[in-house]
Amino acid sequence: MKATITAIGGFVPSSILSNEMISRMVETTGEWIVKRTGIKERRLAKDENQGTSDLACAAIENLFETYDIDRSEIDGLVLATATPDHLLTPTASKVCEKSGFTNAFGFDLNAACSGFLYALEMATTMIESGRYEKVVVVGADKMSSIVDYEDRNTCILFGDGAGAVLLEKTESEYGMMKSILRTDGSGTSALLVPAGGSKLPATAQTIADKKHFVNQEGAFVFKRAVESMSNVSRDVLASNELTVDDIDWVVPHQANLRIINAVSETLNIAAEKVKVNIDRYGNTTSATIPLCLWDFAADFKEGQNILITTFGAGFSWGATCLKWGVMRNLRNLQAIKTEKELEHDLVCS
């Protein structure tokens, strides 16, 4: 028994925060941002009442509008997010309710930027166990809710968005291969939101000190990301008895274009094989991998090998390989993205 991706959905808010707009907020220029990160714009959920659950639901709705799927057959939902609607209850509970998953359980998983990969691995093992047949895996984050737009080091990086895939059991050769996941807690202080959890609950002082926003040691994180993503990618290729030449596409975490390029060069993978959309969305944390799969779904062909690799706070990182399989029947041909700039302004009801 194997698990394979059979449907993909995605959502990004319609509101665009361009580099030119950021240059009016902090001391920077659009040219500098592009040179250092590769980002030209990012999407923001401007509605204060719109939380991560709404982004996740919109991505799921896009999935169901695109493919012929019966919601009642969904067994479970694994929601990767670092920005839950509330500390309690799980955001997945609200998503299950709003998405009509009446026969499914759901839970949140937080591994920061590696969250979707971790969630994909959890769902894969659930299906491989034989106890579940159809699991929806979502990566969604409203990073604008934890970004200080007076901090030049972080406000240029992040955007909001969500992506979703349907993972199903299969007895074919297609689907998920072996994964390798890693964690190193010694890097926690280099990338975190200091306050708001049980260690440092919210107080008037933590709010005044801006401890509820992302803090990052950029240079240190950059170095560890390149090293970790490169090494784990080599290891996962070896574990699946694959070489770089066997890989048709690479879908890396979209944190920084310089990181992506450095990893590609280290692995000796041609740039044209590497999928990149950070220029339009920025770093959407848990959503970067599924949004890439959504954006470029038309390029992936049956039987092709795809390498996925991530790195995030924690430090958390990992890699997996999958052999692209047969997608479900389409419900709406127009919902498949065939051009990079095609926008989806879905509203989660």
Supply the residues annotated as catalytic: 113, 253, 283
CA distances from 236 to 123, 128, 180 (A): 18, 19, 6
Rounded to 5 degrees, what angle do the CA atoms 224, 261, 283 make? 70
**Distance, CA of 258 to CA of 225 (rounded, Å):** 11
Q: Which H or E element spans position 291?
A: helix 288-295
**DSSP annotation string for 176-193:** EEEEEEEE-GGGGGGEE-
CB 152 within 8 A of CB 27: yes
> Sign of the CA dihedral 302, 288, 347, 156?
negative
CB 319 within 8 A of CB 309: yes
Closest by alpha carbon to 80, among 108, 42, 58?
108
The SS3 call for residue 90 is coil
Q: Which H or E element spans position 249?
A: strand 249-252
